[in-house]
Amino acid sequence: MRLSSVVPTLIAFICAAIIALFGATLSARAIETLSQSAVSQQLKLEGYEWVEVQADGLQVVLTGTAPDETTQLAAQRAAGHVVDPARVINVMDIETQDAIVAPRFSIEILRNDEGISLIGLVPTAWDRDAFLDDLMSAGSTGSIADLLEHADYSVPETWDAAMDFGLEAIKLLPRAKISLSAENITVTGLADSEDQKRRFERALDDKKPSDIAVAINISAPRPIITPFTARFLIDETGPQFDACSAETEQGQARILAAARAAGITDPVCALGLGSPSSQWARAVETGMRAVQELGSGSITFSDNEVSLVGTPDTSASLFDKVAGELEADLPAAFTLHTTLPAPVNDESTDAVQFVALRSPEGQVQLRGRIGDERSQTAVEAYARAAFGANTIYSALRQVEGLPNGWSVHALAAIEALATLDNGSVTMVPGTVRVRGRTGDAAAKSNITRLLADKLGSEQTFDIEVEYVRQLDPVLDLPSAEECVSRANEIIQASKIVFAPGSTEVDESSTDTLDRLAKALEKCEDMEIEIGAHSDSQGGEEMNLQLSQARAGSVLNALISRRVVGVDFTAKGYGETQPIADNDTEEGREANRRIEFKLIDETEAETETAPVDNNGDETENE
* Top-confidence residue, 102 or 132: 132
For residue 29, what pLDDT is reported? 62
**How far is it, in rounded angstroms, from Cα 277 to Cα 573?**
69
For residue 89, what pLDDT is reported? 83
Mean pLDDT of 300-314: 91
Phi, psi dihedral angles at 469 (to 5 degrees): -60, -35
For residue 532, what pLDDT is reported? 94
Q: Which domains does the chain have, with CATH numbers?
A: 18-94 (3.30.1340.30), 106-219 (3.40.1520.20), 229-339 (3.40.1520), 346-471 (3.40.1520.20), 480-606 (3.30.1330.60)
Summarised one tens digit per residue, pLDDT across range 328-354 is: 999 999 999 998 887 655 444 446 899
Mean pLDDT of 27-37: 67
Mean pLDDT of 548-553: 93
For residue 352, what pLDDT is reported? 86
Summarised one tens digit per residue, pLDDT across range 174-221 is: 999 999 999 999 999 998 888 888 889 988 988 889 889 999 999 888
Q: Per mean pLDDT, which range of 22-26, 174-178, 369-373, 500-504 is the poorest?
A: 22-26
Kind plus residue range of the DSSP H or E element containing 53? strand 52-56
DSSP state, 267? -
Closest to 205 (Cα-Cα) out of 387, 17, 475:
475
Burial level of 416, CB count in 10 A (0-12/13-18/19+)? buried
User: Can you give 99-154 as a three-state secondary structure string?
Assistant: CCCCCCCEEEEEEECCEEEEEEEEECCCCHHHHHHHHHHHHCCCCEEEEEEEECCC
**How far is it, in rounded angstroms, from Cα 291 to Cα 258?**
12
368: region left, alpha or beta (phi > 0 left; psi from -120 to 50 alpha): left
For residue 476, what pLDDT is reported? 80
Q: Per mean pLDDT, which range of 16-30, 239-253, 447-461, 577-591 is the poorest?
A: 16-30
For residue 62, what pLDDT is reported? 82
Residue 2 in this model has a pLDDT that exceeds 70: no
For residue 116, what pLDDT is reported? 92
For residue 114, what pLDDT is reported? 80
Task: Give yes or no for a contact between 423 and 465, defined as CB atoms under 8 angstroms apart.
Answer: yes
For residue 345, what pLDDT is reported? 55
Task: Give yes or no for a contact between 60 and 89, defined as CB atoms under 8 angstroms apart.
Answer: yes
Q: What are the residue ranges of helices labelled H in 478-596?
A: 480-493, 510-520, 540-560, 585-591
Burial level of 528, CB count in 10 A (0-12/13-18/19+)? buried
Q: Per mean pLDDT, which range of 63-72, 357-366, 502-511, 526-535 is the poorest?
A: 63-72
Summarised one tens digit per residue, pLDDT across range 464-516 is: 999 988 888 878 888 889 999 999 999 999 999 888 778 888 888 999 999 99
For residue 472, what pLDDT is reported? 85
Mean pLDDT of 257-276: 93
CA atoms within 13 A on the CB side of 162: 27
**How far is it, in rounded angstroms, from Cα 578 to Cα 603?**
22
* Top-confidence residue, 12 or 94: 94
Residue 441 in this model has a pLDDT that exceeds 80: yes
Query: Which residue type sits at 10?
Result: L
Query: Which range, 16-25, 60-69, 295-304, is most confident?
Result: 295-304
For residue 87, what pLDDT is reported? 79
Mean pLDDT of 311-336: 91
Categorize the per-residue pLDDT at 458 as very low, low, confident or very high, splitting at 50, 70 and 90.
low
**Mean residue pLDDT across the chain:** 85
In the chain, % of residues over pLDDT 90: 49
Residue 27 in this model has a pLDDT that exceeds 70: no
Mean pLDDT of 79-104: 76
Closest to 108 (Cα-Cα) out of 161, 181, 203:
181
For residue 228, what pLDDT is reported? 94
Q: What contacts 403, CB < 8 A, 6 or more positions away?
A: 352, 429
DSSP state, 452? H
**Sign (positive or negative) of CA dihedral 354, 359, 362, 363:** negative
Q: pTM higher than 0.75 for the full model? A: no
Summarised one tens digit per residue, pLDDT across range 574-618 is: 999 999 999 898 998 899 999 999 987 445 444 444 444 433 333
**CA distances from residue 248 to 435, 441, 601 in whole angstroms, order as listed:** 31, 21, 46
Q: Compute the CA torsion angle 507, 512, 517, 519 (nearest 10 deg).
A: 180
